[in-house]
Amino acid sequence: MLYPWQSASWQRFTQQYQQQRVPHAVILTGVSGLGQSALAEQMAMLVLCEVQDATAPCGQCHSCQLFLAGNHPDHTLISPEETGKQIKIEQIRELKHKQTLTANVSQWKTAILTPAEAMNINASNSLLKLLEEPQQNTFIILITAEPAHLPITILSRCQKVPLTLPSSETAIAWIQDQGNFEKIEITKALTMAKSAPLAALSLLSDGSLDYLEQVSRDFTTLLQHKANPVQLAQQWQQYDLKLILNYLQLRLKERIVDNTKHQNLRSNPQNWQIYDCIIKTIKLLSSSNNINKVLLIEQFMVSVMDYPTSQNAVLNQ
Ligand SMILES: [Zn+2]
């Protein structure tokens, strides 16, 4: 199934396919929550489909049936064995081995690798060799929201398919079709999710929006030196830390813009320092899978408490 905002990317791909110009490897980029996996699956399924010259996978043939059942012998899905962990070299080796075998059902062999930035250094070196010496009729799809975390050597061997954000009207209409949500809540969730509809929908469905209000109150208390950073860092581990920090960044930005409008900026230079601190912590959090998150958040809390904000509750308007 494709999403309404993917039609341009899909059309470009089907043209390539019909002109027999399918690249050996593509990389789908764009913020998380745009349905990258769905698009990748449609691409692989089309290439594998037994109906020639189709503009969409038929859904009926033996190949499509196997794909939909999740056990197509010519297709490989590579993901970390556990969420948040790395993609290992053994997984790439297995793919390599499969790619040298004759295709079973289809004319092609396909693979989806997601999230590509989860590959450890050995895995990406191994993948690079595969990209350098591609086999006939193989098609590899990489998915990443963090292309900057991938080696240039890999990026340069993949055709880029950037997924663009839908207009806010399209996004809101799509979310309204998925459930009974208030428009004001949808708008809030979309802002939080950097306008990615699937990410916004999951915020609306899993109750994250509620805990973010709590996080905002916690943070204010912390800046007033009325909370214990060690205890709070522990409490925050139950949440999605990247989401929390993005949220705080957003709220602080609103506050800074608001202050600027009222020509009040000079009175709150600490807001900028806290803002920098949030950005730095987000970067650290994204840079490694093996980071000690409790310690990172604790350090973050201790450093923001150093700024003289106790008289000025940053996030409460
Ligand atoms: Zn088919």
Tell me the average pLDDT of the chain. 89
Q: pLDDT at position 140, please?
A: 97
197-205 vs 168-178: helix crossing angle, rounded to 10: 40
Q: How far is the CA of 68 from the centre of ligand 1 (A)?
A: 10
pLDDT category at 310 given cuts 50, 70, 90 is very low
Q: The pTM is what?
A: 0.80
Task: List, in order, residues 6 or more apart from 104 with CB less than 8 Å away.
Answer: 73, 74
CA pair distance 233, 150, nearest whole angstrom? 30
Which position has the higher pLDDT, 287 or 195?
195
Q: How far is the CA of 297 from the centre of ligand 1 (A)?
A: 49
The dihedral sign for the CA sequence 61, 62, 67, 69: positive
Q: Is residue 312 over pLDDT 60?
A: no
In CATH terms, the superfamily for domain 4-162 is P-loop containing nucleotide triphosphate hydrolases (3.40.50.300)
CA pair distance 271, 312, nearest whole angstrom? 10
Side-by-side strand order, sheet with 109-113: 75-78, 109-113, 138-143, 25-29, 159-162
Lowest mean per-residue pLDDT among 183-192, 249-258, 297-306: 249-258
Q: How far is the CA of 6 from the centre of ligand 1 (A)?
A: 20
pLDDT in tens, 110-140: 999 999 999 999 999 999 999 999 888 999 9
Q: How far is the CA of 51 from the centre of ligand 1 (A)?
A: 6
Q: How far is the CA of 16 from the centre of ligand 1 (A)?
A: 18
Q: Is residue 313 over pLDDT 60?
A: no
Q: How far is the CA of 63 from the centre of ligand 1 (A)?
A: 6
Q: How far is the CA of 40 from the centre of ligand 1 (A)?
A: 16
Q: pLDDT at position 273, please?
A: 87
Q: How far is the CA of 65 from the centre of ligand 1 (A)?
A: 7
Q: How, if at all, do strands 159-162 and 25-29 pair? A: parallel
Q: How far is the CA of 47 from the centre of ligand 1 (A)?
A: 9
Q: How far is the CA of 147 from the centre of ligand 1 (A)?
A: 32
pLDDT in tens, 186-235: 998 998 888 999 999 999 998 888 888 889 899 999 988 899 999 999 99
